Amino acid sequence: MNVQLHKVVSDITGITGMAIIRAIAAGERDPQILAAKKHYRTKRSQAEIAAALNGDYRSEHVFVLQQELHLYDVYQTQIAACDRQIQECLAQFSDKVNLNESLLPQPKHPRNKPQGNEPAFDLRTHLYRISGVDFTAIDGLGILTVQTIISEVGLDPRTPIQ
């Protein structure tokens, strides 16, 4: 298709990128209409995005895009199912700390949405509840690193893993 969306949108799987990709897959070709789908927080102007969307929308390339978009949606559904399963497993662990009595401090860097491969649920609270320690307060330890450490070492590091 020879469009340069990746050069004007930092995350093509974000709101703007996916809105434009879905519109292209649905048949829209007008760069101005596609650029109008940008999220208000997108740094690039509508004109810059429209310029990047000028291209050759050959039917075979659009077909491949539709196939890839379908697979992306399937994978996102599978990831969400995996996240639900992880959340169910974490809910089965006993509490080391009562969240009503010992509140979890606010994160150092609060985010509105998960970053990278972080699950869509509040993993930090679960790990704090089952371990009794907010390991993310340590510089350099993100929530996925903490999850990996706890899953590898266990909740009691004095006990050898069988």
The overall longest dimension of the chain from CA atoms, in Å, is 63
Q: For residue range 55-67, list pLDDT tens digits in order.
A: 999 999 999 999 9
Other beta carbons within 10 angstroms of residue 143's beta carbon come to 20
pLDDT band at 159 (very low <50, low <70, confident <90, very high): low
pLDDT at 38: 96
91-141 tens-digit pLDDT? 999 888 888 888 787 777 666 666 778 898 989 999 999 998 899 888 888
Burial classification of residue 131, based on how many CB atoms lie within 10 Å of its CB (0-12 exposed, 13-18 middle, 19 or more buried): middle
pLDDT at 156: 75
Give yes or no for residue 149 having a pLDDT over 80.
yes
Q: What percent of the chain has pLDDT over 90?
A: 65
Check residue 30 and give its pLDDT.
96
CB of 130 within 8 A of CB of 94? yes
